[in-house]
């Protein structure tokens, strides 16, 4: 029996995987793949193996769902009311008639700013379209007195 016939017998007859055939025969998995793809039985065998795999997966998921227990939170209601209080506080802060400081605005909209290492300012990111009243630069995010050495940002 030639090597190719042996490979075909193991794949189609014994239904072994390409990796295990490669180890047994002593060739690469890609060579196994090339040999079996030239055979006329390949497409039918591939479909059959796929169906078997999907059935095994369905059985596994069915068993898994029977035994899986979801974690439940005991304090869902408490968390809900805490979230409502936070929303009330935020709404009150945002709906005031007073002007919001630049730093407060930057905290609320942190994703549109980037940190400038040289000046310790927050600078509006390029490509962000905003109205005139939005600050382009928020100065003195880090106070100079809090920097202990000149090598704070060196890595």
User: What pLDDT score does 154 carry?
Assistant: 40
Q: Specify the pTM.
A: 0.42
Instruction: Please give the Cα distance from 127 to 130 (Å, whole number).
Output: 10
Question: What's the rounded mean pLDDT across residues 120-124?
Answer: 87
What are 7-62's pLDDT values in tens digits? 999 999 998 999 999 999 999 999 999 999 999 999 999 999 999 999 999 999 88
What are 47-73's pLDDT values in tens digits? 999 999 999 999 998 888 888 776 666
* Residue 2 structure tokens: 């030639």
User: What pLDDT score does 30 carry?
Assistant: 94
What are 75-121's pLDDT values in tens digits? 677 888 888 999 988 888 777 666 778 888 888 888 898 888 888 88
Question: What's the rounded mean pLDDT across residues 133-149?
Answer: 68
* Residue 55 structure tokens: 């059935």
Please answer whether residues 122 and 101 qualify as being in contact, where contact means their C-beta atoms are separated by less than 8 angstroms: no
User: What pLDDT score does 44 carry?
Assistant: 92
Instruction: Please give the Cα distance from 51 to 57 (Å, whole number).
Output: 10
């Amino acid at each position: 029996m030639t090597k190719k016939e042996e490979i075909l017998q193991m794949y189609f007859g014994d239904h072994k995987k390409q990796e295990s055939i490669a180890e047994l025969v002593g060739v690469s998995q890609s060579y196994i793949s090339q040999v079996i793809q030239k055979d006329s039985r390949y497409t039918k065998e591939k479909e059959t193996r796929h169906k078997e795999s999907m059935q095994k997966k369905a059985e596994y998921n069915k068993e898994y769902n029977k035994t899986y227990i979801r974690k439940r939170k005991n304090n869902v209601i408490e968390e809900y009311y805490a979230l409502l209080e936070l929303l009330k506080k935020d709404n009150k802060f945002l709906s005031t008639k007073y002007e919001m400081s630049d730093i407060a605005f930057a905290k609320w909209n942190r994703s549109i700013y980037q940190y400038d290492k040289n000046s310790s300012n927050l600078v509006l990111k390029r490509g962000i379209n905003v109205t005139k009243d939005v600050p382009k630069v928020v100065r003195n995010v880090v106070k100079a007195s809090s920097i202990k050495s000149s090598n704070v940002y060196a890595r």
